[in-house]
Amino acid sequence: MKRLSILLLSLFIISACNPVKDKKVDQTTIGFKTDESSKLFFKNVRRSYYDVEVMEEAKLEIYRLKKRVKESDEPVVNINIVNNWRYDEAYVLLEPNSAAGSLSDIKVIWENEDGKSGEISLEGGNKKNQLDFAAKVYDQIQNGSQFYIMKDGEKKAFLIDSKSREAFRVTMFDYFRLTLEY
């Protein structure tokens, strides 16, 4: 009986420590604010999964997932987390490769298994627009959608392999935990 109690308690603790990974994010409430506990968790638990670039003069830290796609002939848009510790804020920074195009003209088309489809465009490169774009793509990754990126009037497959999808998903998940959405 004692072993069963310990086992049940252990399972409860383990399940409580792992947040639900397919939780939907309310697009209207996402923001940039962080707090001390979320930054502490990120730096102590998640930081080891990221390459860190410190910009001393700007007082920014840029986190790039180590398991991101670094070299590819296919379109890739890597997501980075920027910690602005002076203002207790974090931002999403998009880094497209040359096959994906520049930040000013990224247009993604998604299609899901139900036959629904839509378009996600990045309108300007400011922090709010980059976050909105990334959050919409993240939402469609959770829905299992297929993605295409428009480049030079041509539709090219995007986020086609599990490595690129998982890198995008994990970084956004960490961002949402850092900014108190999860």
What are the residue boundaries of the structural domains of the chain, listed by start?
Answer: 20-178
- pLDDT of 14 strictly over 60: no
pLDDT at position 30, please?
Answer: 87
pLDDT digits (tens, 9 = 90+) for 64-119: 999 999 888 889 999 999 999 899 999 999 999 988 888 888 999 999 988 999 99
The CA-based angle 27-33-37, given to 5 degrees, is 115
3-state secondary structure of 89: strand
Per-residue pLDDT averaged across 147-154, rounded?
A: 90
pTM of the model: 0.86
Per-residue pLDDT averaged across 21-39, rounded?
A: 83
Contact 156, 99 (CB under 8 A): yes
For 180: left if phi > 0, alpha if psi spans -120 to 50, otherwise beta; the answer is left
3-state secondary structure of 137: helix
Give 11-34 as a DSSP string.
Answer: HHHHHHHS--TT----TTT---B-
Comparing 6-20, 22-36, 136-150, which segment has the lowest mean pLDDT? 6-20
pLDDT digits (tens, 9 = 90+) for 43-57: 999 999 999 999 988
CA 81 – CA 101 distance, rounded (Å): 20
Residue ranges in the chain assigned as alpha helix (H): 2-17, 36-41, 127-142, 162-178
